[in-house]
């Protein structure tokens, strides 16, 4: 079954998707950077922020709306958004007096690519294709489109 997910297509066409000793491996600096990104998303409030910003993509959300949606205190929210911004997981733009935050999908795509190429493809115990197939099947059962 061929999936029509852009993520699936992107990951299966990456030259380093299948591990081979002759293929380039990530540098230690890259690994450290990805570990920092995962650590930034590794707290419950930050993961909730990322989910919310992804649901509002590409427009993003103003800080006040994030605060209302998640009920995180303003000073704490500021701290979490700053941490996500420092790891390039979110972008911020000023529009008059408003700060609009958006998920940085390019950085997230890069992080997911790293996980799939450097972690999931080294051992067949994690079959990324079957994970995507289950996700698509679940979305179809919920009436959602599989194409984005």
Kindly state the average pLDDT of the residues 53-61. 95
pTM recorded for the entire structure: 0.71
Residue 102: pLDDT above 70?
yes
Quote the tokens at residue 111.
Answer: 């992080």
* Residue 105 in domain: yes
Mean residue pLDDT across the chain:
81
* Residue 84 in domain: yes
Quote the tokens at residue 11.
Answer: 């990951």
Helix axes 74-86, 44-55, angle to 10 degrees: 80
Indicate which CATH number applies to the domain containing 70.
1.10.10.10
Helix axes 63-70, 74-86, angle to 10 degrees: 110
Residue 143: its pLDDT value, please? 65
Residue 26: its pLDDT value, please? 59
Higher pLDDT, 118 or 69: 69
* Residue 106 in domain: yes
Distance of alpha carbon 31 from alpha carbon 85, whole angstroms: 19
* Residue 75 in domain: yes
Q: What is the percent of the chain with per-residue pLDDT over 70, rounded to a whole number?
A: 75
- Give the bridge partners for 93, in sequence order: 100
* Residue 96 in domain: yes
Residue 25: its pLDDT value, please? 57
* Residue 46 in domain: yes
* Residue 51 in domain: yes
Number of structural domains (the chain) is: 1
* Residue 82 in domain: yes
Containing structural domain, residue 97: 36-120
Residue 55: pLDDT above 80?
yes
């Amino acid at each position: 079954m061929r999936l029509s997910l852009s993520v699936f297509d992107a990951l299966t066409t990456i030259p380093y998707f299948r591990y081979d000793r002759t293929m380039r491996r990530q540098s230690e600096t890259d690994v450290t950077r990805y570990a920092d990104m995962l650590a930034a998303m590794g707290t419950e409030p930050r993961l909730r922020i990322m989910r919310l910003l992804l649901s509002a993509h590409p427009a993003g959300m103003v800080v006040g709306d994030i605060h209302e949606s998640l009920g995180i205190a303003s000073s704490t929210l500021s701290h979490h958004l700053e941490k996500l911004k420092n790891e390039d997981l979110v972008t911020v733009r000023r529009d008059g007096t408003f700060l609009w935050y958006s998920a940085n999908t390019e950085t997230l795509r890069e992080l997911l690519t790293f996980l799939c190429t450097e972690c999931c493809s080294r051992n067949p115990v994690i079959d990324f294709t079957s994970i995507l197939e289950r996700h698509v099947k679940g979305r179809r059962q919920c009436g959602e489109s599989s194409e984005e």
